[in-house]
A = this chain, B = another copy of it.
Amino acid sequence: MASIGFLGLGIMGKAMAANLVKAGFDVTVWNRNSAKCAELVALGARQGTTPKDVAASCDITFAMVSDPEAALALCQGPNGVMAGMGAGRGYVDMSTVDDNTSKTIAGLITQVGGRFLEAPVSGTKKPAEDGTLIILAAGDQSLYDDVKPAFEVMGKMSPYLGDVGQGANMKLVVNMMMGGMLSIFSEGMSLGQKAGLDGQQILDIVDAGAMANPMFKGKGAMLLNENYTTSFPLKHMQKDLRLAVALGDQLEQPLPTAAIANEAFKQAIKAGFAEEDIAAVYKVIK
């Protein structure tokens, strides 16, 4: 495969880039704080001086930064990706950004002749290290084909979802289901315990049947222990529910269950739990 650039070596990016190096890819890394490059260089990576430099010297450049502002900043300016990107080169943004930012970046890259793929991931530190992320890729299909071997090193699945924007849509759909599941789960746990059933027994029985899923197991334990240490902030879930309902408005798809789950999460924000884990929705339901 072609030479690869990797911009952004935070918790996620470092693990992902390391997996690429270990798999034998020719990788050039860059990070805003260049000290973080040392570990990757020790594994065999080259070190780039600027995003422009990396984009100019590699066939395909990946980016994994923390938010939409950082993702946009990487591309722009005299040392940005756009300045280095030539016709036919590829740029794969794996950061989690909103739909608009994703389309803006796509526009910038294609404007200078580059190919673009949005590829937000589902999964945190451990799956990044284990190469078991879920990669939601959308955009230029030829670029998707070219980077598929790299995706297979970083993730356990990396379906091609269509035009730029479909990665974000898929995330909304998945998170909307998650929000609805947490609402009904919280209601069930509340009803059962009010009826005198034991919370752990409810969890055990659900876990033995057709509804068994890692989320109920994990969040169920949190809720019985009244421990809402944030893994996925509740306010982000409410935002996704809001966006999903808005997408339903746009597509004329009624979503009553999602709409009601959205109100439950809004109630939790009103009660002051915006920064706690999504499991804290239970506190306003019970």
Residue ranges of A at the interface with B (Cβ–Cβ < 8 Å): 122-123, 134, 136, 156-157, 159, 161-163, 166, 169-170, 172-174, 176-181, 183-185, 187-188, 190-192, 194-198, 201-202, 204-206, 208-215, 218, 238, 242, 244-249, 251-264, 266-267, 269-270, 285
Contacts and interface: CB of A to CB of B under 8 A. Distances in A.
B270 A263 contact: no
B259 A262 contact: yes
Contacts of A262: 249, 259
Contacts of A174: 188, 202, 205-206, 209, 211
A170 to B, nearest CB: 6
A55 to B, nearest CB: 30
A239 to B, nearest CB: 9
B184 A257 contact: yes
Contacts of A270: 252-254
The copy count of this chain in the complex is 4
A158 to B, nearest CB: 10
Contact of A170 (B134, B178, B205): B205
B166 A196 contact: yes
B170 A248 contact: no
Contact of A184 (B163, B170, B184): B184
Contacts of A251: 191, 194-195
Given A213-B211, A215-B210, A263-B254, A184 B191 contact: no
